[in-house]
Structure 1
Amino acid sequence: MSTEVEQLKQVVEQLRKEVTRLSDQEDIRKLQYTYGYYLDKCLYKEVADLFSNHKDTCVEFLGGRYNGKEGVKRLYVGRFSKAFVSGRNGPVHGFLLDHPQMQGIVDINPEGTRGKGRFRSMMSAGTHESIKETHPRGLVQWWEGGIYENEYIKEDGVWKIFRLKYFPFWHATFEKGWSHTKPNYVPFLSTTFPDDPNGPDILCEHPMLWPDTRVVPFHYTHPVTGEQVADDDLRAPHFGKDASTSTPPLVLSKPDSEG
């Protein structure tokens, strides 16, 4: 009997761990989806509150890295709010910024304290013709597709965004589409804080935009083989050319404290 009880305890403990893992994965998906819904409506203060206060918290976007919670606020409450909604928190009449979060793949570390997630977004954005004279972007409508490779941290039982890395993979005007996207259609960040009051703390190596089609590295291994994708296969050479002739593969950066 004692052996059966011990085996039952082990089964219960295994089930408890599995339920906790699944619950953590769902909490992170909800966190990321919430991020998308807030971003849709330019609720930038709420977006910033989704992030951890950890010293290594950061956001990487368009070739720049915003460090710490203050850096996060500088990007969302500073840069985005001023550019899109004249500094307010919330939407303005006639401005569209739908930013859905899709295809979430979430993994939790064995300790249940950190998580990683890969998500896709396909944004539709622009202005209504009725505000073309009053909004700084004039009359415009555009598409954007991007990949998130994020890290999350559990603090006092609550999951928060730890390191958000968004790679806006491609942009296009609604009228002409992605086949005709002009070079530098969305310029990379080039000036750091404080020279740019809303700029990043540092500039990142190897930023990429369409027609660059390199792969954003996967945080997870192949679910069948257990292997990572080979570095050369993350590159994007020109048709018929060897991978060695192309730009080096992207590398997901780490904070200085982790080398």
Structure 2
Amino acid sequence: MASKIYESPAAALDGLLFDGMTIMSGGFGLTGNPESLIPEIRAAGVRGLIVISNNAGADGFGLWMLLQSRQIAKMISSYIGDNKLFEAQYLSGELELELSPQGTLAERIRAGGAGIPAFYTRTGVGTVVAKGKPVETFDGEVYVRENWLKADLAIIKAWRADPAGNLMFRKTARNFNPVMATAATVTVVEAEEIVAEGDLDPDHIHTPGIYVHRIVRSTVNEKRIENRTVRQRATG
């Protein structure tokens, strides 16, 4: 079997990028973002991107880089948060936004990986989220239909990977990365650690290697905190 391991983030993305493509980018807040792969997409200069991600990074970090370079045409996302650039581009009409509730977004991605074209949920009924979408009544309750999400490319970050592409994630990095790995034509993984085959306990593998096409050792492993609140310790 040919090796899935590539020598650099640029090499791992070589030949995969094109204008107008759809990219799933893992991460939750500032956790589990593919920090090493995003700068290479920026360097490639591809434009008109549709990006599916829980959020779009933060000032100077993560997908913010692709917003700043005006390479993203549309975000499918659940959280704008403290990203002022994301907010400004959306409000000015420069950036198209499809806002999806967080659980619905995760389920749409999971559905894409599982081959389920659509499903029904009560989340968003009666709100702008349901505008233009089919609704049905089940057991006296109204549900809105949501469609699957799929992508040309998924870029995700794992804690540990082996050469076969089996992956382990840590904590909130598991929120979107594992499902995104299943829902793209090609999945490229950056991992904090690459271990030998057999080193990962099969019972602890979160994503099997069948979903992973390319692996690279991550070059950026910054652990940021989006908001920090502190209080003075009581004295006396």
The TM tier, using the shorter chain, reads: under 0.3
TM-score normalised over the length of structure 2: 0.27
Structure number with larger C-alpha Rg: 1
Flag the structure with more relative contact order, 1 or 2, with Cα contacts below 8 A and sequence separation at least 6. Answer: 2
Higher helix share: 1
TM-score normalised over the length of structure 1: 0.25
